[in-house]
Amino acid sequence: MSETPTAQVPGTATGIVAGTAAAADLTGRAGYDPAFLVPGPLVPVPLPVDGTEVVVLPYTHFSVVLRPDRRLAAATVVAVDGAALRDVDRDGQGWFLDPRVGPDAQAGAELYSRNDFDRGHLVRRRDPVWGGPDEARRANSDTFSYANAAPQASGFNQSLELWLGLEDHVLAHAREHDARLVVVTGPVFAADDPRYRGVQVPRRFFKVAGYLLDDGPGGPALASAGFVLDQTPLVEEVLRSEARAQDVPELGAFRTFQVPVADVAELTALDLGPLVPADRMPALVPAAAAEGDGVPMWRPVTAPGELLL
C-alpha cells in the first residue's frame, strides 16, 4: 500500500471564486492528531488510507482524505472532546471550496443545485467544535468545506436521527470511561456508482467510532464500533435510474446496520489500523446474522439501546 501523499498547497491564486474561502483562512490548520485518543504507549489511530492517490486536507480537529479522482472524500476523521464541546451557531455560514486543491478535485455547488441531494456533512458540524471560543468557531466554519461534503438524498440526510446521532450515543457510553472519541466517516465507493453531473454518487456510507474502555488490569483499552447505512433506493429515485447489480445484498433505505469494522475495511479498502482488532461487536453478538439480512454479522439497529458498545 502506498504512503499517504502529503497535501500540496498551491500558490495563492490571483483571484478567488465567490463562495471560496481565502487561502489565509485555512493556514496553520493542524488537522486530526492520531495520538488524540490514545497518547503515550498505546497504539495511535492513524489516518485511514486506501492505497489510491489522495490529498490530506487538515482542518481544525479533523482531516479529510480527499480522492481527487472521485472529487469526494474517501474518509474523514475527527477528534471529539466531549468534555470541551461548545455550542456555535451555524447561521450565515456558507459552503466553500478548499483553495488548497483545484476545483476539479472537489465537488462544489453545481452538484447540489436544483435537485434533492443535500450537502451531507461527513464530519458532523458539532463534532470538532470544542476548545477555546475562537478555536471552536474555526472548527465550525471548517466543516462547511465542500471537501467535507457528500451527496446524500434529502430523506437520508434529514430524517435518520439514529444515523446522524451515532456519535452522541457512542460518546454517551464512552463518557463513563473517557470523554474522548474518534470518528471515521465516509462513502463506500463502488465502481458502478451512478454518475451525475460529473461525480459518481455513493450509495452507502460508513461510520467507525473509536473510544477507550477500562477493560482490564492493564488499564484503558481501545474499542471500536462500525456502522453502514444504505441510500441506494433514494439515490436511484433522485437519478431516476434502474437498480444496479451489487456485491452486497440490498439493505434498503432508512436502515442502519452495526457491522464488523473488518467489513467496513473490506468494503472501502481503507486501512483502519487498530480500529479493526478493537471492534467490540464480534465478542458481543452470535456469528449468525438476523434471518433474512443476507450478510453475516450485519445487525439492524433502530434505537440507541440496540448498539453493542
The more confidently predicted of residues 165 and 98 is 98
DSSP notation for 177-205 = T-SEEEEEEEEE--TTPPEETTEEPPSEE
Average pLDDT over all residues of the chain: 79
Classify each residue of 99-135 as buried b or exposed e, where b means 16 or more C-beta atoms within 10 Å of its C-beta. bbbeeebbbbeebbeeebbbbbbbbbbbbbbbbeeeb
Residue 89 has pLDDT above 90, yes or no: no
Residue 287 has pLDDT above 70, yes or no: no
pTM for this predicted structure:
0.82
Residue 10 has pLDDT above 90, yes or no: no
Residue 47 has pLDDT above 60, yes or no: yes
Beta-bridged to residue 227, according to DSSP, are: 207, 258
Homologous superfamily assigned to 23-306: Extracellular Endonuclease, subunit A (3.40.570.10)
Name the band, by pLDDT with cuts 50, 70 and 90, for residue 231: confident
pLDDT in tens, 267-276: 999 999 999 9
